[in-house]
Structure 1
Amino acid sequence: MKFEDLRLLEQESVARGIPIVGAKKGKWLYDKIEELQPQKILELGSANGYSGCILGSTRAELLTIELDSVIAQEAKKNYSFFQVKAKIIIGDAVAEVEKMAKDVKSHKQFDIIFIDFAKKKYLTVLEDCISLLKTGGYIIADNIMFLDVQEYRKRVQDHPQLRTEIIPILDGIACSQKIKSH
């Protein structure tokens, strides 16, 4: 899949007021996925699947968590249309990530974790996400300049296990690489 293939989905999403990463940040994300060639990705907050289609564009295995069952069904249709290998969990991302982090078999299994859900909960999931991420993997968080994620932004920039770059596209992206296990 090429990034341009998502143009119609992006236009429809914007017209319907569905919150998506949009074309500018979407292109950055697409290029990053192409560069990294991840095998397993966890997405927190799928909406209608726009970002999931980008994340799964390299045929990576995508696990996505979405609270809204109606919009999750729309994401499922979009994943099918764009041939994205995705499993959708309908539920609260905080609870699901916490459950996964308690299961030692889940530790260090993801190459990328993409965070784009309830902004006030970004910090709540951070430590669990780090435990689920492989060393060398990335946590990518959207809307990083929002006031609601200010504490998260500070934490990832100062975290001893992470090296973080803030990407200044629109309302920002934090791209945090896990550089050590503990």
Structure 2
Amino acid sequence: MQPEPLRYGYGRRSHRVGPGVKDFKAGDKVVTYLGLEIGCGLAEYVVAEESMTVVKPPEVSAADAAALPVTALTAHQALTDSAEIKLDGSGKTPKGAALKSPFGVKYDVVIHCTSDIPWSTFEPNLSTEGKVTDLSPNLISYLIFKAKFLTFSKKQLAPIIIFSKRENIDFLVNLAKEGL
């Protein structure tokens, strides 16, 4: 009796795809998001959901492909989903385009990448409807988020939780393919 393959990581060394897989064939090099528990990685064999997987173009290195589903996807979602910035350039407001100096400016969007800065630092520096997207949320972040939501505050703290879509991964892979 053979052991069950691991859910993620190295499984049985077989060159086949699962039943019902339509978009890939055995031996395809792919980029995939493996879920919140795993994130991303680099493996020769892995079990992944077809709906979260795209073919890796030869122009994208294996190392870059391994980093895209979490690092680039986190940045992409922070900008597009949470901060609601349109990456095609159509969402740049005249006020936003004119900002030159950080002194005295109230911010519409802050991407918070550390856990050492408290909400009390951000709040006075936000515009009336400013938003802080927290990339490393903790319990306090979630409590502040709920309090702001329940009090109908226009200033927001938005803890980010990655919800990957195949089209997001495909978009990022194509950017990497073009060297962007």
Q: State the TM bucket, normalised to the shorter chain.
A: 0.3 to 0.5
Give 1 or 2 for the bigger CA radius of gyration: 2
TM-score computed with the length of structure 1 as normaliser: 0.37
More strand as a share of residues: 1
Decide which structure has greater helix share: 1
TM-score, scaled relative to structure 2: 0.37
Higher relative contact order structure (alpha carbons within 8 Å, sequence separation ≥ 6) = 2
